[in-house]
Amino acid sequence: MNPVELKYNKEHEYAGVNGNIVTFGITNHAQESLGDVVFVELPDEGATVTAGKSYGTVESVKAVSDIMASVSGKVVEVNTQVLDAPDLLNSDPYGEGWLIKVEADDLSPLETMMSADEYEAFVATEEH
């Protein structure tokens, strides 16, 4: 079950919105597909990210995947716990496993993201 308060994209990443601060992370489906996450690369606090562009990578025993920004803005917080314990992405992707928080320049890109129900339907079509 995906949290209903989040928005989702086709790359299996989520965005949580609190005012103009957007929290980025990967979905439960993404972590299941990746397998055991062994390394995470994230931007530094103060860095700028651009909507639709890679801001880091998640490395698992199976593959290395780029993670894409949902909105453009300045990184205001980095989850250093994930850098030290990448397996948090596997055990708690929606809680302790968030990745970065961005002060968004513009929230409109979130309008094209999927709701939890839409995302679950999307995942179901991918699995067949």
Which residues make beta-bridge pairs with 68? Answer: 54
Q: Where are the domains of the chain?
A: 7-122
Give the pLDDT confidence score for residue 128 in this predicted structure. Answer: 63
Residue 31, token pair as written in the block: 């972590």
* 29 vs 1: CA distance, rounded Å: 10
Choose which CATH entry (3.30.950.10, 3.40.50.2300, 2.40.50.100, 3.40.50.10470) describes domain 7-122. Answer: 2.40.50.100
Using DSSP bridges, classify how beta strands 21-26 and 13-18 pair: parallel, antiparallel or unpaired: antiparallel
C-alpha count within 13 angstroms, C-beta hemisphere, residue 44: 2
pLDDT in tens, 41-70: 999 999 999 999 999 999 999 999 999 999
Phi, psi angles (nearest 5°) of residue 95: -115, -100
**Site of tokens 């995906």:** 2
- Give yes or no for residue 127 having a pLDDT over 80: no
Question: How sure is the predictor about 126, in pLDDT bands with cuts at 50, 70 and 90?
Answer: confident
Residue 89, token pair as written in the block: 């992405």
The predicted model scores a pTM of: 0.95
Residue 83, number of CB atoms within 10 A of its CB: 14
**Site of tokens 């513009």:** 106
pLDDT in tens, 91-123: 999 999 999 999 999 999 999 999 999 999 999
